[in-house]
Every structure is written in C-alpha cells, then in structure tokens.
Amino acid sequence: LALMESDDLLALGELADTARRLRGGDDRVYFVQNLYLNQTNVCRVKCKFCAFAVTQKQAGAYTFTPEELVEDALRQRELTGFTEIHMVGGESPHVDFDYYVEIVRQLHEAMPDVHLKCFTASEIHHMTKLSGLSHEEVLEELRDVGLGSLPGGGAEIFADRVRKLIAPGKEHPDFWFLTHDTAHRLGIPTHCTMLYGHVETYEERVDHLLRLREQQDRTGGFLAFIPLAFHPENTVFERRGWRHTTGSDDLKMLAVSRLLLDNVPNIKAYWIMMGMPLAAVALHFGADDVQGTVVREEIFHAAGARTETEQKIEELVRFVRAAGRVPVQRDTLYNELRRWHD
C-alpha cells in the first residue's frame, strides 16, 4: 500500500528495475509474433466494463465455425508467420462444448507448430456448465486435442465488492483460481491479469496481487502477469464520468506488480492498451515483455483503444532498442527464437 500511495514515481521505477535484475533479469525484452482470434462476441454475461459482448439478436453478433477460424488463420499465416494464436471470446449459450473442442482440434491439425493460447478461465467455467464435466475433464479434453496454454483474462479484480459492481453475472473468483490451479497441475501453463482503474481501491489491487502470488507459490504455472488498464469508452462507466488511467498510474501499477510478484518470471507492458511510447518507458519500471505483434485485437478497441491493431516486428524492435534494451522474439513459453544485437 505504501508503494501504491507513493508519489515518487521514479524511485518506484528504480526499485522495480533493480528487483527485476536481482531476480535474474537482464537487458532482454521479449515479444511474440501472434494472431488474435475471437470465436464469438455473443455472451450470456453482461459485464459493465465490456464494450465487446452482444446478444445473439443484436446487430454485429457473430459466431464463427471452426472451419471459418482455420481458414482465417491460414490466410493470416501466409502474411505474418505467427507462432501463437491468442483466442478468447464471449460465453455463448448457443454452442456446446464440442464446438470448443473442434476449434482447438482443427486449428492444431491445420497448424501443428503454432501454440494455441485459448479461452479464459471464465470460458472454461462456462464449458463445464455446457458439458456437465469438471474443470479438470474440460481442460484434459482440450489439452489432448492441442490446447497449449490459457490466457489470464476473466480475473478482473478478485474482491467480492468489486465483482458485484462491475460483473454481477460472472462466476465467483474462486473458479478463476480453480481453473488455473487445475491447468497447472495438468502441465498447462497459464497467464494472469488484473483489470484496474475502475471502482477498485489500492487495498483491493494489493489483495489481488497477493492472491496471485500465493497461487504461484503453490503451483508455479504462471508464465507472466499482465496488468490491464480499464478502457471506459462505449461502456456505462464512460457515461458516469470515468476516464482512461493516467500514464503515471500505469507505470506505478507495473512497478508495484514487479516488486510484489517476486515469483512470476515476466511482467508485460501491454502496448495495445498503453501505446508503444509508454510501453517503452515501462521497460524501466519492471516490465520485460511488450506482448507481441497482436494482429487484430478487438476487445480493447471496442472500448475505445486508439492504438494500432498490429505492430510490425521492425517497429517493436525499434521501440525496444530506443529504450536501451535488447529485442528478443520468443515463443509462448519464452524460448528465444531470434535476438537483435546492435
């Protein structure tokens, strides 16, 4: 809390960068070449912070078939040669569990060398409701047809007070932890997130980070933590006067995350949310990853993000170098694929 309440932003950055280096970090900054897919924007939950979800009867609603997703991905692969597909979507009540299994199976069969990072913990929980299976059975079935890892979405803020305000129809946070705990024990690595900058207090941010740290102590399966700044545009929050977080709050959040999460190896400065110039500054505030090429991100852009929906590798390399760091293209599991030397 003292860190969150501090106004000495540069000291926080120096502390976080020192902590990163003491824990084995060096000048390398990672990014991945990835494609974002959304299988559907139809969702049964009405989260108040979301500008992406619709009902099936609303204009613009879509649900792609597994075949359409494969065709789209193969077409994109000819252009970019991505190594990861990051796929999340709405919790549609109009599909069954086999729909998800077929998506993973067909994508994996079409591109066996591409890592499939698919479905938030909320979506996995939704699949247990659709199928009547346990979280373990759902994850095993998806893993066996090609699922590689889980993204960290659906965490929002774990505090009950906050969830009742921003996502009253969403499952209890205990199910987020059950999903990730189960995935780790099945050998499926995952990521973790926090959506901040809405109605939460500093105490609730710190509680969220401590709970993630305790989970990591138990299973060690989180690859990275990604703090996500709330984008209020096109949501009820915008009508109530909410605005984007400030750059200083974003940098503070990254620095405190790096200091507190001593057991999570990587902290991402998500450029799609904060823009590349601020993400480059964040590399001096504890971050060691700028996410990736992020071809066609839709969820933050539905909420008014003004950033590009894709960064070319050359641009990522340029920004990382300008920050005095060494750009490294990685795969999802942080294996080094290419390094740019001066």
pLDDT tens track for 140-178: 999 999 999 999 988 989 999 998 888 787 889 999 999
**pLDDT surpassing 60 at residue 268:** yes
Instruction: Report whether 150 contacts 138 (CB < 8 A).
Output: no
Calpha distance 199→29 (Å, rounded): 32
| Of 252, 300, 268, nearest in space to 14 by CA | 252
54 confidence band (pLDDT: 50, 70, 90): confident
Can you tell me the mean pLDDT for 99-112?
Answer: 97
Of 248, 252, 193, the closest CA to residue 222 belongs to 193
Q: Is the pLDDT of residue 48 over 90?
A: no
For the segment 240-250, what is each residue's pLDDT rounded down to a tens digit?
555 567 889 99
Tally the residues of the chain. Answer: 342
Q: Could you give phi then psi for residue 308, rounded to 5 degrees? A: -60, 160
Percent of the chain clearing pLDDT 90 (strictly above): 64
Please determine, for residue 286, whether its predicted confidence score (pLDDT) is greater than 90: yes
- 217: its two tokens: 């102590």
pLDDT band at 308 (very low <50, low <70, confident <90, very high): very low
Amino acid at 249: D
In this model, does residue 337 exceed pLDDT 70? yes
Confidence category of residue 137, pLDDT binned at 50, 70, 90: very high
Flag whether pLDDT at 306 surpasses 60.
no
The 10 Å Cβ neighbour count of residue 213 is 18
Task: Check residue 39 and give its pLDDT.
Answer: 92
Quickly state the pLDDT bin for 305 (edges 50, 70, 90).
very low
Q: Mean pLDDT for the chain?
A: 88
pTM of the model as a whole: 0.90
Confidence of residue 271 (pLDDT cuts 50, 70, 90): confident
The per-residue pLDDT for 304 is: 41
| pLDDT tens readout for residues 195-246 | 998 889 999 999 999 999 999 999 999 999 999 887 655 555 545 555 567 8
Residue 20 has pLDDT above 70, yes or no: yes
* Structure token digits, residue 298: 């839709």
Specify which residues 192 forms β-bridges with: 225
Q: pLDDT, tens digit, for every residue of 56-105?
A: 778 788 999 999 999 999 998 888 889 999 999 988 989 999 999 999 99
